[in-house]
Structure 1
């Protein structure tokens, strides 16, 4: 989910996935004006593809790992959304490291893909630009990644 000036792939470029596929979205309440915009971007794409989804909320970015871990057995993919804005203390680094390592561990240890939709930005404008602003909506890109990973998992299970 890297930032580039190109926007999301055309919807037609997304692979087909089973009609029974279900995605969980775990959204941090901290910086809700950003995380809800990311969530909306994901929902819009999932609905356009008729993919079933549920949305869950946790207090902040650190709690995203716990939220995702609780849902692993019930969904075909999980998307986590958070927004951590750099401040004047090392707190930014600790939160970013915690959520990054937590989601990486879930992806390494379990069979359900967890899509990292956490914005780690220098300022609020950077986040707004990525949550439906001039750089598109990273929430839409996260939903695209979830669909692609569900397709990938189906292909691997056919081996």
Structure 2
């Protein structure tokens, strides 16, 4: 697990407009990821937050793109893909990851990458930021998006 060595990314992002785009699959994990992202945004003084639910992780890129194009300062993509017995896992993981990278590069809007790609439910729960979880990937995705937004503001 890569939780050790994570940077501390604390940013005062008061005035930032942020969208959270979250998949609808794996409710318990998603509830934890969303709560972690919302807590990080609150800790960073972000009050303008829009939460939208995607049907699944495959749909995250197009929805993130829509919100990035609407003038949001950052978008946080949250989803869960659990490996199964078919190549579906690889196709969806690759398409969603590549799509989210493309959205960030094409729009110039930071996309917080909170897409869990796990071998099983236990790994996802361990990263969901729930009580007993080892990591909080929702919080980490929000912090990364805000930190990137902050750096981009000074670069522009």
| Structure-to-structure mapping, 1:77-92, within 5 angstroms | 77-92=74-89
1:71 aligns with 2:67: yes
Name the structure 2 match of 1:155. Answer: 154
1:103 corresponds in structure 2 to 100
Corresponding residue pairs, total = 152
Q: Which whole-Å CA distance do the structure 1 matches of 2:79 and 2:36 have between them? A: 14
Deviation at 1:6, TM superposition (A): 5.0
Aligned-residue offset at 1:135? 2.1
DSSP 3-state at the match of 1:151: helix
Residue 30 (structure 1) aligned with residue 29 (structure 2): no
Rounded Cα–Cα distance in structure 1 between residues aligned with 2:77 and 2:33: 10
SS of the residue 1:74 aligns to: coil
Paired residues of 1:86 and 1:121 also in contact (CA < 8 A): yes
Provide the rounded CA distance (Å) in 1 between the counterparts of 2:59 and 2:115: 12
Which runs of 5 or more structure 2 residues have no equivalent in the other structure?
none
Between the aligned partners of 1:5 and 1:134, the Cα distance in structure 2 is 14
**1:15 is the counterpart of 2:14:** no
Structure 1 residue ranges without an equivalent (≥5): none
Let me know the Cα RMSD of the aligned residues.
1.7
Structure 1 residue matching 2:53: 3-state secondary structure: strand
Assess if the C-alpha contact under 8 Å between 2:65 and 2:107 holds in 1. no
* TM-score (norm: length of structure 1): 0.89
Q: Is residue 78–residue 112 contact of structure 1 (8 Å, CA) maintained in 2?
A: yes
The one of 33, 42, 61 equivalent to 2:57 is 61
Structure-2 separation of matches of 1:59 and 1:32: 12
Contact 1:7/1:136, CA 8 A, preserved across alignment? no
